[in-house]
Chains A and B, each alone.
Chain A
Amino acid sequence: DAKTTQPPSMDCAEGRAANLPCNHSTISGNEYVYWYRQIHSQGPQYIIHGLKNNETNEMASLIITEDRKSSTLILPHATLRDTAVYYCIVSARPQGAQKLVFGQGTRLTINP
């Protein structure tokens, strides 16, 4: 699986959009970009995933560059409950089991 690079920490004001970048320059054609987050002492929570098109759901938007070497997760109106570690993961669409290899993630702090 391709490796990802994320900033170790970010701050964002409550109510503003939080934009979390991720670099995955070695991503291959069959690999998807997944985003999960982990609130302190809980299990990770799925946020969104995409292949090459931009995606949006009730939680966030995912913007993937045309060359697919980087992406940005956007939380449109961040709240204090969005404070968590956000993980960007690249993984192939599974024919069998899907392994998620977690990097160090970005610790996002939403400030009041």
Chain B
Amino acid sequence: DVKVTQSSRYLVKRTGEKVFLECVQDMDHENMFWYRQDPGLGLRLIYFSYDVKMKEKGDIPEGYSVSREKKERFSLILESASTNQTSMYLCASSLDRTSGNTIYFGEGSWLTVV
């Protein structure tokens, strides 16, 4: 089974702090994604990456950046956390960029910014 592991399940950070959310997948997938999940809004794509050191903006990239230095690891960075970034963050991966490939999700990281 594909395993997508998010290192932190629950975090509480202060406004203005720099926040790192880490994600690792163990199936040698090329694609990795970061989504945020909010009630009533579903999942919205923040950033994705098709390869090491490559990144593309999703639908809501403002206030976020990402890093992919190794194929198995994809980090989401909040340079200066704000209260409106309180949310559930989901990391995901898929084999490659072929349309329709199944996307596998991690268990999520609950971030509260106070």
| Same assembly | no
Q: Which of B's residues lie within 8 Å of A, judged by CB?
A: none
A interface with B by C-beta (< 8 Å)? none
